[in-house]
Amino acid sequence: MADNKLPVVAVHGVGSGKNKDRAGFSKELSTNVHAVERPVIRIGPYENVKNASEADPKDGILWQEALWESVNDLTPEALEAFAKKQFPLSPVAWFLTLIDIVSDVPLYLGANGGEIRRVVKEVILKHPNCVLVGHSLGSVISADILREEQQTDNFSKMPVSAFITIGSPLNLLKMRNPMDKPFPFVWDNFYYPKDPIAVNGDLIKSEFPGVRNHTLSAGETFAVSHTSYWSSTVLASAVYSMSCGGGGMESYEIV
């Protein structure tokens, strides 16, 4: 499996501006993967390589960001849908609500969710057998897409080799459709203990069957923990391992 170079698709979380403003969000992680002797070729509309056809996969991992920021327009319908959502009355939950009500969460939970999933899924479809990496709200978007695919044809049309979630609020936001069985590939969830967005840390295994939780170094402070995942060498090693082999849960080990 060592000669395989499975592509990587990265999905960002909340932000502002348009796609061009979000482009490059995963650059530090891809640089770190490159540093562990796994060459990375970044592709996409805001990269030097414009599309996959211009790059030879034999030269390294094809790495594309699924940019969805331009989909979001703040609408009354989205805010109304968000207001109806039921959240636990914990300080962390209210902190998350306060941040995201003026950002992307209400837009995803409301009228724009379907279009956001369509845009992200389109990128995934371009990279069969990809390693899918979702950060923050991007982990929720990715999980919803994967669950939808699992319910329809179990990934025969959209094969994915591995799923990584980082700084995920899935314990709070849940999936659109609850899971009743694991995905047919490894799912590893990473979080910093002080990350306020990764509510309760470990994803609940009864609600997300098959997930494997991993706690990263506790050294990151409350203020920067949620944005520090992209610089983690542990995550770089995980992505590197998955890009080498992907495959089932039994075959994967963090290096």
What's the whole-model pTM score? 0.84
- pLDDT value of position 5: 82
Task: Reply yes or no on whether the pLDDT at 94 is more than 70.
Answer: no
Task: Reply yes or no on whether the pLDDT at 79 is more than 50.
Answer: no
DSSP states along the chain: -TT----EEEE--S--S-HHHHTTTTHHHHHHHHHTT--EEEESTTSSB-SGGGS-GGGSEEEEEE--GGG----HHHHHHHHT------HHHHHHHHHHTTSSHHHHHTTTHHHHHHHHHHHHHTSTTEEEEEETHHHHHHHHHHHHHHHHTTTSSS-EEEEEEES--HHHH--SS--SS--SSEEEEEE-TT-SSSTTSSPPTTTSTTEEEEEPPTTS-TTTGGG-GGG-HHHHHHHHHHHHH---GGG----
Q: What is the pLDDT of residues 162-171, one digit of tens each?
A: 999 999 999 9
Q: Mean pLDDT across the stretch 17-39?
A: 87
- pLDDT value of position 55: 65
CATH (residue range 8-251): 3.40.50
- pLDDT value of position 76: 46
Task: Reply yes or no on whether the pLDDT at 190 is more than 70.
Answer: yes
Higher pLDDT, 218 or 93: 218
Q: Mean pLDDT across the stretch 140-144?
A: 98
Q: What is the pLDDT of residues 98-118, one digit of tens each?
A: 554 456 787 888 888 999 999
Q: Mean pLDDT across the stretch 41-62?
A: 75
